[in-house]
Amino acid sequence: MTSPADPAPTGPAAAPVPPPALPPVLAAAPGRVAVVPDPAPEPAAATRTGRRLRDRRAGRNLPAAVAVGVGLGALVAVCLFVRKEAFVVLAAAAIVLAVWELANAFRARRIRIPVLPVVVGSVGMLVSAFAAGVEALLVSFALTAFAVLLWRVLDGPNPVRDVTAGIFTAAYVPFLAAFSLLMLAEPDGPYRVLAFLMVAIGSDIGGYAFGVVWGKHPLAPSVSPKKSWEGLAGSAVFAVVLGVAGVTLALDGPWWAGAALGLAIVLTATVGDLSESLLKRDLGIKDMGSLLPGHGGIMDRLDSLLPAAPVAYLLLTVLVPATS
CB-CB contact of 231 with 215 (8 Å): yes
State the pLDDT at residue 29.
44
Distance CA 180, CA 173 (A): 12
What is the Cα–Cα distance from 210 to 206, expressed in whole angstroms?
Answer: 6
Packed helices 305-319 and 176-184: angle between N→C axes, nearest 10 degrees: 40
Residue-wise pLDDT tens digits, 53-106:
444 454 566 777 778 778 888 999 999 999 999 999 999 999 999 999 999 989
DSSP 208-238: HHHHHHH--SEEETTTEEEEEHHHHHHHHHH
Q: How confident is the model at residue 324 (pLDDT cuts 50, 70, 90)?
A: low
Task: State pTM to two decimals.
Answer: 0.78
SS3 for 61?
A: strand
Q: How confident is the model at residue 24 (pLDDT cuts 50, 70, 90)?
A: very low
Angle, helix 62-82 to helix 45-53, in steps of 10 degrees? 60
Q: pLDDT category, 108, cuts 50, 70, 90? A: confident
Is the predicted pLDDT of residue 177 greater than 90, yes or no? yes
User: Is 261 in contact with 312 (CB distance < 8 Å)?
Assistant: yes
